[in-house]
């Protein structure tokens, strides 16, 4: 869903359009935003996270915008497809404390009618779980 446009006035994306979730919420996009808004070009992503957790408004705002973009993107998918449940996990959810409330608030605000009843579950999982899951899928493919 990285290239769902959630903000027509948003930043240009490498795919050629503007306001994609990825252009706002990828690690690079968040870091670029924090660097620009704080004037701290020396920051790495961990530094940006630390600054946001320490309460720096500019850094915090970059994570808030990212969470909002993710929530709107998920809501657009749910409104279109109507799944029973959405589980969000993977890279970046180690910053769940910075993104989570913004994801859930934007999701709730942008789902409508029956889609609004679709539960959104945020599950921060370590990479080992991904590896284990991939191994299971491989084994199932070999031994159906
Ligand atoms: Zn894009």
Domain harbouring 66, CATH code? 3.30.420.40
Is the dihedral angle over the CA atoms 33, 37, 52, 98 positive or is it negative?
negative
Domain-embedded: residue 119:
yes
Name which residue leads in pLDDT, 17 or 90.
Answer: 17
Measure the N-to-C terminal CA separation of the chain; round to a whole number of Å. Answer: 30
Kind and range of the H or E element at 120?
A: strand 120-122
Domain-embedded: residue 32:
yes
Measured in Å, residue 21 CA sits from the centre of ligand 1 at 7
Domain-embedded: residue 3:
no
Cα Rg of the chain, angstroms? 17
**Which range among 74-78, 85-89, 113-117, 125-129 has the greatest average pLDDT?**
74-78
Query: Each residue of 62-90: pLDDT tens digit?
Result: 999 999 999 999 999 999 999 999 988 77
Say how far apart CA 128 and CA 84 lie, in whole Å: 26
Residue 47 belongs to domain spanning? 21-142
Query: How many domains is the chain built from?
Result: 1
Domain-embedded: residue 1:
no
Measured in Å, residue 3 CA sits from the centre of ligand 1 at 4
Kind and range of the H or E element at 121?
A: strand 120-122
Domain-embedded: residue 16:
no
**Residues with CB in 5 Å of ion ligand 1:** 3, 13, 15, 20
Domain-embedded: residue 10:
no
Residue 24 CB burial class (10 angstroms; 0-12, 13-18, ≥19) = buried
| Residue 49 pLDDT greater than 90, yes or no | yes
Query: Which pLDDT band holds residue 41 (cuts at 50, 70, 90)?
Result: very high
Query: Which pLDDT band holds residue 19 (cuts at 50, 70, 90)?
Result: very high
Domain-embedded: residue 14:
no
Measured in Å, residue 73 CA sits from the centre of ligand 1 at 12
Length of the chain: 144
| Residue 131 pLDDT greater than 90, yes or no | no
Measured in Å, residue 125 CA sits from the centre of ligand 1 at 26
Domain-embedded: residue 65:
yes
Measured in Å, residue 17 CA sits from the centre of ligand 1 at 6
């Amino acid at each position: 869903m990285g290239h769902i446009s959630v903000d027509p006035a948003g930043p240009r994306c490498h795919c050629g359009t503007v306001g994609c979730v990825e252009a706002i919420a990828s690690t690079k996009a968040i870091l670029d935003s924090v660097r620009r808004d704080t004037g701290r070009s020396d920051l790495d992503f961990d530094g940006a996270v630390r600054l946001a957790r320490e309460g720096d408004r500019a850094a915090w705002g970059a994570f808030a915008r990212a969470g909002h973009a993710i929530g709107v993107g998920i809501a657009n998918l749910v409104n279109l497809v109507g799944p029973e449940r959405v589980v969000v996990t993977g890279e970046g959810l180690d910053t769940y404390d910075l993104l989570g409330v913004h994801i859930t608030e934007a999701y709730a605000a942008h789902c409508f009618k029956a889609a609004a009843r679709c539960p959104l579950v945020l599950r921060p999982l370590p990479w080992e779980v991904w590896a284990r899951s991939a191994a299971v899928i491989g084994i199932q493919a070999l031994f159906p």
